[in-house]
Amino acid sequence: MGFDYDLFVIGGGSGGVRAARMASLAGASVAIAEEYRWGGTCVIRGCVPKKLMVYASEFSTTFEDAKGFGWSVGETTFDWSKLIAAKDKEIARLESAYQANMEKVGVELFEARAVISDPHTVQLSTGQTYSAKHILVATGGAPFVPDVEGAEHVITSNEIFHLDDLPKRVMVVGGGYIACEFACILHGMGAKVTQFYRGEQILRGFDGEVRGHVADEMREKGIALHVGTDVVKITKTDSGLLVRCTNGRDYEVDTILFATGRKANTKGLGLEKAGVEVGRGGEIVVDKYSQTSVPSIYAVGDVTDRVNLTPVAIREAMAFVETVFKGNATPVDHELIPTAIFTQPEIGTVGLSEEDARDQEDIEVYQSTFRPMMHTLAENPERMMMKLIVSKASRKVLGCHIVGSAAGEMIQMVGIAIKMGATKEDFDRTMAVHPTAAEELVTMRDPVRS
C-alpha cells in the first residue's frame, strides 16, 4: 500500500521539529502539523522567554550589589512593555528559524490542527486527510488549573508572557519549579509577591536540603511564601481579586498565577479511536523506543510524561529516527539527567537526592554552605550551597546539588563526570580553580554525615 508520507508528525515543538528534520535528512518523506506556533512550549511560552525574563529580573539585585564595588548607580526604573517587545522579537526570530530549517530539508509544513483517524491516517482542521506509514505524536503538555471557585480569574504560564503591564501585587499558586521561578522573576521586577503551596515544602522531588535552602532565600529576599496553604475561593472586586485561603485569611492582589502542574496535551487527538493506550493523566503510554500500543504510532516529549524537559524530547526524537528510519534500535537513557531550576538563587542538580540515595544504600554526604566572593563587598546575604552524595560501597558520586549563581552552567559540566561514573576520589584529585565558587566541589574533604 502506498502512503502519502513515510512520517507524519503532529506537534511542532522541540521533539516534533527535530524528528521531522532528522527523518527527512535520513531520506524519509515527512509532513508536520502545528495548530499554534512553530517551536512549541519551550520556544514560544516556556524555557526561552522565561530565561530572558530571569535575566531581566536579576538586574535589580545587580544594581544594588554594584554599589559595594564602588559604582554609583542612579535611580533605576523597569519598563515591562520594552522587555515584552524585545522578547517577542526574539521569539519570532527563533520561530522563523525553526520553520526555515524544516523547509530547507524538504519537510512539508501544515499550520493546522491534526487528529488521528486510524493507525495510518491523519485529518487536518483544513479538511485535508493524509496517510502515513508512521505517525509521531509530539503535542507536549498544557497548564492544569484545579477546580477552584473563581478559577476563571486566574492566569497560567501561557498568559504570563503576554500581560500588558507588570502587576503590582501577584499571588503565585503552586510549589513546583515553574511557580518558584515566576515568583522570583516577578519579585525581581518589582512586584509584591505572595506564594501559596499546599504541600509542606516547595520543589517536591528535589533534595530536601536544597528545598529548604531555596525557600529560606526566597523569603529572605521578600517573597511571602506560605506552605501548607491553598486557595479556597477567588472573587473579583473593584480594586482587584480577593483570595480566600485555607488558613481563613483573605488576600487582595491584582493577578493570580496558577502554576499547579501540567497535563499531556492529548484531548480530542483521536488516540482512543485509533487504539492507542493512554494513562490515567492523559499521557501516551510508550515503550523504551517511544512506540505506543499501536505499532505505527510513536510519541515523544511531554505528551508521554516521562521526563518533561526540552533536551529529553529532542533526545527521544533522535532515538525515534535512529530506530524507525535508520534501522538502529535506540532506547533513550533517562538516567542521570542534569537539570537547572532558574529560581533566585538558581539550582543545578544531577543524580539522586540525599533522601532517595539513603533509601537505596549506605551513603556519605559532603556539604558546604558559604557566602560567595561576589556577595562579600556587596554585603548581599545570599548564601550558596554545594552538596555531593557519595556511595560508601562504590565511592561513586550518586548526586550533586548546587544552589547559587551559575548553578545551571556548573551542573552541565558536573553531569558529564557523574554520567561517566566519577568517584569522590576523582573529584578530590581534580585541582581547584581559584578563586571560584565551583572549587568547593573538589575541596570538600570530610563528610558532614553518613
CATH number of the domain where residue 110 is located: 3.50.50.60
What is the rounded CA–CA span in Å between residue 332 and residue 327? 15
Residues 51 and 127 in one domain: yes
Residues 34 and 134 in one domain: yes
The answer as to whether 127 is a domain residue is: yes
> pLDDT-derived band of residue 375, with 50, 70 and 90 as boundaries?
very high
Domains of the chain: total: 3
The answer as to whether 449 is a domain residue is: no
Kindly report the backbone phi and psi dihedral angles of residue 54, in degrees, each rounded to the nearest multiple of 5, phi listed first: -60, -50
Q: Measure CA 88 to chain center.
A: 20
> pLDDT-derived band of residue 215, with 50, 70 and 90 as boundaries?
very high
CATH number, domain with residue 388 = 3.30.390.30
Residues 35 and 169 in one domain: no
The reply to whether 134 belongs to the active site is no
Residue 274 exposed, middle or buried by CB count within 10 Å (0-12, 13-18, 19+): buried
Residues 373 and 245 in one domain: no
* Percent of the chain scoring above 90 in pLDDT: 98
> pLDDT-derived band of residue 450, with 50, 70 and 90 as boundaries?
confident
pLDDT, one tens digit per residue, over 288-342 is 999 999 999 999 999 999 999 999 999 999 999 999 999 999 999 999 999 999 9
Across-strand partners of 33? 10, 110
Helix, strand, coil percentages, rounded to 5, for the chain: 35, 25, 40
Residues 298 and 345 in one domain: no
How does DSSP classify residue 449? B
| Average pLDDT, rounded, for the chain | 97
The answer as to whether 450 is a domain residue is: no
Q: Does residue 82 register a pLDDT over 80?
A: yes
Q: What is the pTM of this model?
A: 0.95
Residues 373 and 278 in one domain: no
**Is the sign of the CA dihedral 272, 278, 280, 283 positive or negative?**
negative
Of the listed 120, 153, 375, 434, which one is catalytic? 434
**Is the sign of the CA dihedral 173, 176, 180, 182 positive or negative?**
negative
Q: How large is the C-alpha radius of gyration of the chain?
A: 24
Residues 203 and 286 in one domain: no
Q: Nearest to residue 344, comparing CAs of 170, 171, 196, 225?
A: 225
Residues 284 and 137 in one domain: yes
Q: Measure CA 431 to chain center.
A: 33
Residues 240 and 268 in one domain: no
pLDDT for residue 1: 66
Q: Does residue 37 contact residue 44 with C-beta atoms inside 8 Å?
A: yes
pLDDT, one tens digit per residue, over 385-424 is 999 999 999 999 999 999 999 999 999 999 999 999 999 9
Question: Domain span at residue 98?
Answer: 5-142+263-325
Q: Does residue 346 register a pLDDT over 70?
A: yes
What is the rounded CA–CA span in Å between residue 441 and residue 414? 9
406 CB-side CA count, 13 A: 9
